């Protein structure tokens, strides 16, 4: 039987953006006590969560996604505002939004992935795509008034970067938190 691999497809973030986000997160951390904030190394934008799959099924998706190289084009991503899922009233996930240029580029990439993985046995995502960078998770409720107030005055300054590839990332769950490792890099056409 083949090994089971937990993985997802993601846009990697430039080191400078991760550094700036880590500084931003450190300032938010001071306004909360029970929220678990993301580690700098783990920051990314998920394109598709693949969950636990046999290693040979994951191996089979690699050639299918490499083909994107002749179809998909690089694009720009710009960070936007901090938001929360399911909403600001009782936030469970804090995230930073993104905008792509051209505006449909990220959606085209995500839909291309969905279309190309379906024949390989990866079910299409039924929930609408809401691209985001997860910054923190709140499992234990706490008062976020100070956090929202702070954010009004200190938003994360927009940061733009060119997306020239995406990755297949393995997620290894450890007691101290998930550890991510790039299994494969997929270039976008130049
Ligand atoms: P999130 O950023 O919104 O938490 C690795 O866990 C990545 O896959 C995370 O970025 C996570 O999204 C995303 N993901 C999507 N669906 C998931 C699920 N059901 N379980 C775990 N992670 C999921």
Q: Is 116 in the pocket of ligand 1 (CB under 6 A)?
A: no
Kindly calculate the radius of gyration of the chain based on its CA atoms and give it in whole angstroms: 17
Q: Which of 49, 114, 124, 125 to mutate for ligand 1's pocket (most ligand atoms within 8 Å of CB)?
A: 49
- The residues spanned by each domain of the chain are 4-187
Please, which residues have CB within 8 angstroms of residue 25's CB and are 6 or more apart in sequence?
Answer: 37, 38, 40, 135, 136
Give residue-wise pLDDT tens across range 102-116.
Answer: 999 999 999 999 999
Helices (H), the chain: 15-29, 55-66, 105-117, 145-153
**Closest-lying ligand 1 atom to the alpha carbon of residue 134:** 2
* Fold observed for domain 4-187: Cyclic Phosphodiesterase; Chain: A, (3.90.1140)
2 pLDDT tier (thresholds 50, 70, 90): confident
Per-residue pLDDT, averaged over 30-37, amounts to 98
Predicted TM-score (pTM) above 0.95: yes
Q: How many CB atoms lie within 10 A of CB 70?
A: 7
């Amino acid at each position: 039987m083949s090994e089971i691999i937990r993985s997802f497809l993601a846009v990697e973030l430039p080191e400078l953006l991760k550094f700036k986000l880590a500084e931003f997160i450190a300032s938010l951390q001071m306004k909360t006590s029970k929220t678990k904030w993301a580690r700098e190394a783990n920051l990314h934008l998920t394109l598709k969560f693949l969950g636990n799959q046999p290693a040979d099924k994951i191996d089979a998706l690699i050639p299918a996604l490499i083909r994107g190289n002749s179809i998909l084009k690089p694009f720009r991503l710009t960070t936007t505002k901090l938001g929360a899922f399911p909403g600001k009233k009782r936030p469970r996930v804090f995230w930073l939004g993104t905008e792509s240029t051209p505006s449909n580029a990220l959606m085209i990439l995500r839909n291309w992935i969905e279309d190309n993985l379906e024949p390989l046995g990866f079910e299409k995502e039924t929930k609408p795509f809401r691209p985001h960078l997860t910054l923190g998770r709140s499992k234990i409720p706490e008062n976020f008034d100070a956090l929202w107030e702070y954010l009004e005055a200190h938003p994360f300054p927009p940061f733009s970067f060119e997306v020239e590839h995406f990755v297949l990332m393995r997620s290894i769950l450890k007691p101290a938190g998930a550890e991510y490792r790039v299994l494969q890099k997929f270039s976008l056409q130049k």
